[in-house]
Chain A
């Protein structure tokens, strides 16, 4: 049995400890917002937060998450209230949408670390996340917009 906290809730799972966290999240816990894209940490579709840091869950053995706190897209907000989600909606970022959970989870760490990321910051933080529909330009502007919303929100 491996115990881990996902989206602030404790879970105990009986799996091979080598099993990537991705499959525990998706198959054992039924949280399918985190996606499978490559299985080699090349595309970022499976990005989640492990104790607050962005990790590629497709190559993270579940044993590494034991006793730690995992946040998935479902745990980012319950009501689309995160500034990134608001900005994603305002800019109509997604096309097929498959990569967007991973994009948002990567961007959330960026935004926490840098209140006003530059384009270079965005390039560095987001180049591990592939979008085959080509929404990069909208992702970039949505991150800038979310940073602005966040700043205005905290100023209130």
Chain B
């Protein structure tokens, strides 16, 4: 394993340096089989790694970010089509193969995450489109024997302005393919945009409305077998003994093989594989986590929080200011482990041959999958082809540094010498680890005699999912994992004395980024405790934030917009309350105002959420709205229900009955307001999630006077009286 990580780290750094060079033009990269076939028949013009134009006028945009619902199969082609002046109805999408040309412009590996797809491709893909346009214009000008400056591109064609002559992109594709790409291209003035910034229908909606869209789980290749894997019931456990005789006796079961991560039952289809797995007789050595228990773990975290941690933020002298404060508040906030629970459970098809390996899967992490698959198969990375399918949700779960779900499939395929689809059941998924870490926060605040916040101390205890991965060097600096403290370490409030610390909790339980990463817990704590301090000072929570955010206009902008649209300050009926929260993450600024009804038994119903976002310039405003709606639902599920717990080392939850998620009848009305902004562009996939939990719990406080300090919200904590 460490070999893989070392390799990956070197690769990561190397490609990172190259990616800084920007657009790689005229680069012909190895393409997937289907695309090669398309090139032979249709594609005439490929000005760069991202654009293919056929003689049939179709423009295929090769998209290097994975579509997991966030809309990149529309937003990224919009960037290309805008500058290419393509006919939007002729634009098609193809997922990129794994190759360095498709590495992330900022992160240096091929990946999708951090709400970064649109801003990170904004320049590269517009330049790619503009380059294509310049070459098509040049080809037309040559044909007409006119100056290129006398021609313009419009809606999929080049037009000679003076004579009105017109050639479609398809008609120009062949001749344009013989031209050298220009060194410099001019990008449009944003005021001339026809597509960017306009609500645009998603290109993938039709295939997601008729069952034709191909997700990883839908892949079948000739001769393929289906495998389910029995994994240890305790993380870190190993097979002690195995009797596969009963499993092998089941009709349709072909192989039972022991692999690094458990025992694979390989069969003709899902059902015999499932019956076979149930018939396995495995004795496990539970290993070091055999006694893991959530109650005891909480005590351990509390102990750790009582000792000094690594300093994540230090302004002024919080200790002295706290001791001199007129009023002091202390609190403990807690959040549990969370599973991502994407609708499409993990899966991977692998076909390992003597000199090649093909992988079909929904992944956010192509470079890592390719490296790990190569290592497992005993091949070079360039011998591994990754086919990125549609992702039935990602939320970070399909960006795994150890690429475990690909590694398993490659290992099984290699062992049984056949293409294999490894499938995860929902139980495998919920109990499969790679959770959002559980976190324990102690927090204290000091007010002066006028009720101003003069001191803030916070100590976070949680695991690091960066430690031990190729990303450790990027994330962990001076003993602090940035992904564990983000949202606190960059707290915007103008509080003169702040001390924030972090202590790394012991590892063992596999943990991972989960939609909005560290912000998923830090925003809850910061925005809740600020609300506590406001009430302790007898002030309006909106007024307190206004005063403390005077130097942060983008925070203020969304705060004021959400408050105004929600009617902040207007009276509410008995049992109802309104709460607000504002948070910056992934370069965007989001404020939510939540309205809740709390019944006498403490049941919480979220009635309405008013959201305001400033993500800078917009590409597809309707996608921004959709991501706010989705991010709110994702955060509400966590606030109301999400909880993974351990007893005797075993995860206690299994499926949607004991790991519930928000359903239609619980859906609040969500209103999204987008701030018109020319500021720096941020992301939209994650920033809607962090502020929803505190907006709701602050609303519960407004309704009942009960402060929620642990998630998920329990009726006994929310009940009035």
Binding site for B on A (CB under 8 A): 15-16, 18-20, 23, 26-28, 30-40, 42-43, 45, 72-74, 76-77, 80, 85, 88-89, 92-101, 104, 122-124, 126-140
Contact = CB atoms under 8 A, between A and B. Distances in A.
B426 interface: yes
B215 interface: yes
Contacts of B393: 96, 98, 132-133
A101 B343 CA distance: 12
A84 B203 CA distance: 18
Interface centre among A27, A38, A88 (most CB of B within 10 A): A38
A104 B626 CA distance: 19
B656 interface: yes
B217 A35 contact: yes
Contacts, number: 184
Contacts of B632: 134
B161 interface: no
Given A35-B392, A132-B342, A96 B68 contact: yes
Contacts of B345: 36-37
Interface residues of B, number: 63
Instruction: Tell me the interface secondary structure of chain A in the complex.
Output: loop
B340 to A, nearest CB: 8
Given A80-B210, A137-B670, A138-B626, A97 B204 contact: yes
22 contacts: A27-B270, A32-B220, A33-B211, A33-B212, A37-B344, A40-B426, A42-B656, A42-B657, A88-B205, A94-B202, A94-B205, A94-B209, A95-B70, A98-B215, A124-B665, A127-B665, A131-B633, A132-B342, A134-B629, A135-B629, A137-B669, A137-B670
Given A27-B270, A95-B630, A134-B632, A129 B392 contact: no
A93 B207 CA distance: 12
Nearest to A122: B664
Contacts of B395: 132
A57 B662 CA distance: 22
B663 A127 contact: yes
B204 A94 contact: yes
B269 to A, nearest CB: 5
Nearest to B201: A92
B656 A38 contact: yes
Given A32-B214, A80-B210, A43 B343 contact: yes
- Chain B contact residues, majority secondary structure: loop
A97 B69 contact: yes
Given A80-B210, A97-B390, A136-B667, 15 more contacts: A27-B226, A27-B270, A32-B218, A35-B344, A36-B270, A37-B344, A38-B426, A93-B205, A96-B392, A98-B390, A126-B664, A132-B661, A133-B630, A136-B662, A136-B664
Contacts of B68: 96
Contacts of B626: 92, 95, 135, 138
B664 A127 contact: yes
B14 interface: no
A89 B423 CA distance: 30
A140 B230 CA distance: 39
A129 B661 CA distance: 11
Nearest to A27: B269
Nearest to A37: B343
Contact of A92 (B205, B215, B270, B631): B205
A146 B657 CA distance: 31
Most A CB contacts (10 A, CB to CB) among B270, B343, B667 go to B343
Given A96-B393, A130-B656, A136-B667, A104 B209 contact: yes
Interface string B653-683: 0011100011111010110000000000000
